Amino acid sequence: MNMEPYRTTFPWLLARMAKEKPGATAFRWKRYGVWNRFTWREYYQLVR
């Protein structure tokens, strides 16, 4: 894998996933027996 350094940072990957797969699940967690999730779009907007 010969990628340019700036294309391997988490901010770059996050922006890319938010554009390419905005409705896909970025991560999920379980709290009080209920599964919650963030999509790539939601996570990008949250940390932007």
The SS3 assignment for 27 reads: strand
Task: Round to whole Å and give the CA distance between 43 and 36.
Answer: 13
Pairing mode, if any, of strands 25-31 and 34-39?
Answer: antiparallel
* Beta-carbon count within 10 A of 48 CB: 9
| pTM exceeds 0.85, yes or no | no
What was the pLDDT predicted at 4?
A: 66
What was the pLDDT predicted at 46?
A: 93
The SS3 assignment for 29 reads: strand
How confident is the prediction along the chain (48 residues), in pLDDT tens digits per residue? 566 666 778 889 999 999 999 999 999 999 999 999 999 999 999 998
